[in-house]
A and B are shown apart, each in its own frame.
Chain A
């Protein structure tokens, strides 16, 4: 973006929002909607300034403006620094055209490699999300409703330990496990099930297992805390009224745990679709995954505008997914980020 235009935005936007809040406060006061002390009266000057500056810096300089400049860059051509802000620095769709057609100008053939990687990433992420939900629901239910206090402590500790082992090491563990000289292949060979080692990593089994494994706990904890708040008497009542066990889960527990289910699902999906460590460590030579492609746009091809466009595509997909989940479960954002 142009230097003066950019700077106007960077300092103008926070100023405009500050003026908006000032105006809103004045309006509410005049209309008698707001009572009690004003913001600075209420907090004192020092604390009030701290609140405004801390939140202002966070919202504008850490969240909004970076996102904005990434989107802005994705609609710009790749130029040497000297020409930035010059006559050639115009809005263009060429980065998005490249994603679809593999060329910045022609639209004759599709960019199958990147499109396939994108579709596969989204599809596999959804599948892993469902798989993790199915795997975690029973244990979350058990911990929340039927486990005793001592047992619960042990289960929680066992869950928390792998949670703090970082993503790369978790992926590495799967490489040790699944490589052709790994323990699984040795066991299968020793048992005579297979004649020669299976190439789990080349077949992407390792990647998918590693992803599911890495984000298992992002599913357990939201489910657990949502089911925990369900009154045990409701389950008792349903059972006394003769409901079969699957009725109880489907019509009593799950509706109550809706916010937890939605929050676990969005988290696992978002982390899978945006995972970089597991594909890096576990991918075979022919593996397709979207995030390494984005990474390569930046640090292999050095085409930042294109990388920004790819990142924006991923972001829009995640936002759409979150909105769909919210719509499906009829929830608001506030309910799932608790």
Chain B
């Protein structure tokens, strides 16, 4: 829609404003992580320092919370990806007349506010562990993993389902005709086909778990994760050490995004090469068989 010069200028202004709004606050916070004043300050720059970073790493609670967060992230991946996979496969096999009801139930956690998932998890497991005499299961880390898994499994299911719907049934039929059993088809045909989706689901599950606050703050009980420690620190008052943490997270994200981009390009190039090699082989085969027939 950008035809006239005026429209083009207006659109450029809009893009600039949009990204200023999106990135400006992060940049301001980033600068304050290197400035010396006690209160996060951008201007004037009174002196450059890395003290806030060392203060951050010296913060015992923060480091403890980070370890717990990483643990919870790993456990959530280990639970959510298999559940999401099972949920997606069941979606394709369940009787059509109950499919929409099933879909409604398993997608509902995505549309439920996080605090409600946290609350209901705590309420249920408190009663359940009391009734069954398994009070040791009433633990902040276990409850957080369960609570987060409810919606993260749904994310995983949606990602896996999107790829599963492109699965060519002919592949499965070919394998069955060649004498493979159904479990062998699952292991050797379906899982390799779904592998990229499983990988994306795992990455998304870990990141969603790591940055989650709403569900975690209810389900964590007396334990601490990075986000709950952070919330406590921010409530007590602003310090540039918090800005320093944000700088680290942004840096890790950028490195991760670039690494993922490179990995994807390599994978795409490899797939391209394989395709071309297969085509070349097919052509030579065809000309090879065609030649004797002509002779």
Contact = CB atoms under 8 A, between A and B. Distances in A.
B15 A168 contact: no
User: Could you say which interface size class chain B belongs to?
Assistant: 35 or more
A314 B116 contact: yes
A169 B245 contact: yes
Contacts, number: 262
A146 interface: yes
B116 A64 contact: no
Contact of B213 (A47, A64, A158, A167): A167
Interface residues of A, number: 100
Given A168-B234, A169-B29, A63 B105 contact: yes
Contact of B28 (A28, A43, A64, A183): A183
Contacts of B153: 58, 62
8 contacts: A50-B82, A73-B123, A157-B261, A164-B249, A176-B25, A176-B243, A277-B231, A338-B162
Q: Which secondary structure dominates where chain B touches chain A? A: helix
Interface string A50-91: 110011011101111111111001000000000000000000
B227 A166 contact: yes
Interface string A10-41: 10000000000100110010000010010101
A280 B105 CA distance: 31
B167 interface: no
A95 interface: no
A338 B218 CA distance: 28
B6 interface: no
Contacts of A328: none
Nearest to A167: B213
Given A62-B149, A170-B25, A176-B32, A41 B182 contact: yes
Contacts of A307: 119
B90 A51 contact: yes
Nearest to A322: B111
A6 interface: yes
Nearest to B253: A164
Interface stretch (A97-105, A109-117, A135-143, A226-234): A135-143
A66 B28 contact: no
Interface of A: 1, 3, 6-7, 10, 21, 24-25, 28, 34, 37, 39, 41-44, 46-47, 50-51, 54-55, 57-59, 61-70, 73, 135, 138-139, 141-142, 146, 153, 157-162, 164-177, 179, 181-183, 186, 213, 216, 245, 248, 266-267, 270-271, 273-277, 280-281, 291, 294-295, 298, 304, 307-308, 311, 314-315, 318-319, 322, 333-334, 337-338
Contacts of B261: 153, 157
A146 B104 CA distance: 36
Interface of B: 1-2, 11, 14-15, 18-19, 21-26, 28-29, 32, 39-43, 82-83, 85-87, 89-90, 93, 95, 97-98, 100, 103-117, 119-121, 123-125, 127-128, 131-132, 146, 149-150, 153, 158, 162, 181-183, 186, 207, 210-211, 213-214, 217-218, 227, 230-231, 234-235, 238, 242-243, 245-246, 249-250, 253-254, 257, 261
Contact of A334 (B103, B105, B146): B103
Given A3-B131, A62-B153, A308-B123, A55 B87 contact: yes
